Amino acid sequence: MDHDQMQRSKQRYELKLEVDLDLQPMTLSPKEPCYTHNVSYKGMFISCSGKIPDPGDMVSFKILRPFEPHLEGKGIVRWCNKEGNQVRDRGVGLEILDFISPYHQGYYEQLISLLEEDMKN
């Protein structure tokens, strides 16, 4: 990965999308909605109102809207904020490990590219 690619992978964009977050064997939603924030090529922050996974937990995620079919993948929780406050929501920092197909990964990367272009304009 060259320097420009490395910098792009670190850039984060504010985008709120509804997410199903599964922590085996427990499903956190749809009863407890989760939402993306600060998405990037490598991961995202997911705010959750219910149980918060611990760092190191493997999770499955499904970005629900506005995508049909939903974008599905697996990730690892790198950090968590179980309390929440006025500055930061309760939730987890999730590193994306894999999507279920190249289509899902490509669509996600296209979304980040569109956000990059929007930020430039």
Kindly list the domain boundaries of the chain, sorted by start residue. 14-116
Residue 48: strand pairing partners: 34
CA distances, 111 to each of 47, 60, 82 (Å)? 20, 20, 28
Q: What is the pLDDT of residue 3?
A: 47
pTM score of the predicted model: 0.76
CA distances, 11 to each of 27, 49, 67, 104, 112 (Å)? 30, 26, 22, 20, 10
- Report, as ranges of residue numbers, the positions in the chain whose pLDDT lies below 70: 1-17, 21-32, 65-67, 86, 121
Q: What are phi and psi of 35, to 5 degrees?
A: -140, 145
Q: What is the pLDDT of residue 8?
A: 53
Report the amino acid identity of residue 16.
Answer: K
Q: What is the pLDDT of residue 29?
A: 43
Residue pair 42/18 in contact (Cβ under 8 Å)? The answer is: no
The architecture (CATH level 2) of 14-116 comes to: Beta Barrel (2.40)
Report the length, in residues, of the chain: 121
Residue pair 75/61 in contact (Cβ under 8 Å)? The answer is: yes
Q: What is the pLDDT of residue 23?
A: 57
